[in-house]
Chains A and B, each alone.
Chain A
Amino acid sequence: MGIDVDAWYRRYGPMVLRRCRALLRDEQAATEAMQDVFVELVRREDRIVDHAPSSLLYRMATNTCLNRIRSKKRRPEDAASDLLDRIAAAPDYESGWSAKLMLDTIFGREQESTRTMAVLHLRDGHTLEEVAKICGMSVSGVRKRLRTLKAHVAELEAIQ
């Protein structure tokens, strides 16, 4: 099995860079985040099945950017970045997770990052059904996971 990382980069690299630019709003940081995504992809190229690569890379880019925002503790510039900051700062479904573990879980399709789901839903405007499809989960699973962030992200209060 495995994937052709070079071909994936040529097809989806610009998408990953655009995603990182949109979330980080810093050209240098976005370029580095894009590189980080493909370093992780290379590390796991033998284990990945060529299934929905754009969704996978989009989630990886989102997760990588959230980790950067979380570590940088930047000053919110507007409502959109404030939302990202609060999501990035929120604890994830698994306590004590690390960035590496999270990427492992993405590839293993065991535990998608709850914070990534929150960004897809609240910032990007995806419905819960769309988030579930993008993340390969059930809608009820997404709903349950997002409820765990209610205390930190008030916008999730509406989720029952």
Chain B
Amino acid sequence: MSRRVPDLFVEQLASGDLSEARATEVRDALASEQGGLQRLAAIEASNADMLSQFPAENVIPAARLAAGRNGASRTWLSAFVAVAAVALVAIIANPVLVNPSSTSETRLKGQAPALQLHRLEGSDVVSLGPGMTANDGDRIQLSYIAAGQRFGVIVSIDGRGAVTVHEPRSTGRLAAELTAGGAHTLDQSYELDDAPLFERFFFVTSDSAFSIDQVRLAATALVESGDARTGQLDLPSHLHSESFMLNKAHR
């Protein structure tokens, strides 16, 4: 019985990397393998989808940012990373099982992507509106409505200028794939720390994958501009941004 053609050879055939003679060998081997030619067809069919989902225009700039080869100085980037790390430490994250989307207080914004904030008060879940006041120690639950957008990043800026990424929570470099179909609640809630004045959240979305660092850098630039409370993130036109600000008070 002949062996299954290794995936690498099928990939090389699909990408046109093989010599004519070698390509014929591999194609013949696939033809004699049950489902072999379907494997080749599946690869060719999925390439366009993958590049549409993770376009080079977004992935490679993100890789250059991560590799420190985007023209920005490494010192500046290091300082930026340090600021983000401090912000992460400042916020305590604990899993909380709630489903704000099931409450009657869910706020919808038509077809536009939107953020929803809820305060957890014991067993109650209270919807928060933009501009409302929250206290240090309040536990906040974030939800989003993707409204057809496929990728998103949620960051916050607090009154001390700390930038925190809330979604995605993984260590990847690209925006999270958003969950469609109404409000989606993040799997963790956040306890507000004692940063003064305000806590402002941004929900940045797009049809295609984009770099988290793009959003982080824009948020950091907004902090440095001194207009973090009311200004907008400076982002490319294909990225959509919604913000939600809470005023802060101390207990």
B240 sits at the interface (CB 8 A): no
B92 sits at the interface (CB 8 A): no
Interface members, chain B 49-85 (any A CB < 8 Å) = 50-51, 54, 56, 59-60, 62-64, 66-67, 69
Q: Is the CB of A54 within 8 A of B12?
A: yes
Q: Is the CB of B47 within 8 A of A14?
A: yes
Q: What sequence of 0s and 1s flags, for each residue 182-218 of chain B, a beta carbon within 8 Å of any chain A beta carbon?
A: 0000000000000000000000000000000000000
Given A14-B51, A18-B43, also A39-B63 (CB < 8 A): yes
Q: Is the CB of A13 within 8 A of B59?
A: yes
Q: Which residues of B contact A (CB under 8 A)?
A: 3-4, 6-8, 11-12, 14-15, 17, 43, 46-47, 50-51, 54, 56, 59-60, 62-64, 66-67, 69, 170-174
Q: Is the CB of A6 within 8 A of B8?
A: no
6 pairs of A and B residues whose beta carbons are closest in the complex: A32-B172, A14-B50, A42-B67, A38-B63, A14-B47, A15-B11
Contact partners of B51 in chain A: CB under 8 A: 10, 13-14
A89 sits at the interface (CB 8 A): no
In whole angstroms, how far apart are the Cα atoms of A154 and B56 in the complex? 41
Contact of B8 among A10, A14, A53, A134 (CB under 8 A): A134
Q: Give the contact stretch, choosing among A78-86, A106-114, A124-132.
A: A124-132
Given A6-B60, A18-B46, A31-B172, also A12-B66 (CB < 8 A): no
In whole angstroms, how far apart are the Cα atoms of A98 and B51 in the complex? 31
Q: Is the CB of A31 within 8 A of B54?
A: yes
In whole angstroms, how far apart are the Cα atoms of A12 and B64 in the complex? 17
Contact partners of A43 in chain B: CB under 8 A: 67, 69
Q: Using CB atoms, name the residue of chain A closest to B57.
A: A6
- Secondary structure call for the A interface: helix
Q: Could you jot down 26 A-B contacts, CB within 8 Å?
A: A10-B51, A13-B51, A13-B54, A13-B56, A13-B59, A14-B46, A15-B11, A18-B50, A19-B7, A31-B54, A32-B170, A32-B172, A34-B54, A35-B174, A38-B63, A39-B67, A40-B67, A42-B67, A43-B67, A43-B69, A53-B17, A54-B8, A55-B12, A125-B4, A126-B8, A134-B8
Q: Which residues of A contact B (CB under 8 A)?
A: 5-6, 9-15, 17-19, 22, 28, 31-32, 34-35, 38-43, 52-55, 58, 120, 124-126, 130, 134
Q: Is the CB of B11 within 8 A of A54?
A: yes
Contact partners of A22 in chain B: CB under 8 A: 7
A122 to chain B, nearest CB (A): 12
Contact of A124 among B8, B50, B59, B69 (CB under 8 A): B8
B39 to chain A, nearest CB (A): 11
Q: Is the CB of A42 within 8 A of B173?
A: no
Given A14-B50, A35-B174, also A41-B6 (CB < 8 A): no
Q: Is the CB of A31 within 8 A of B174?
A: yes
Q: Using CB atoms, name the residue of chain B closest to A34.
A: B54
Contact of A11 among B7, B15, B62, B63 (CB under 8 A): B15
In whole angstroms, how far apart are the Cα atoms of A13 and B189 in the complex? 35
In whole angstroms, how far apart are the Cα atoms of A120 and B11 in the complex? 14
In whole angstroms, how far apart are the Cα atoms of A55 and B62 in the complex? 24
Q: Is the CB of A10 within 8 A of B64?
A: no
Given A13-B56, A14-B51, A124-B8, also A39-B15 (CB < 8 A): no
Given A54-B11, A54-B15, also A125-B3 (CB < 8 A): yes
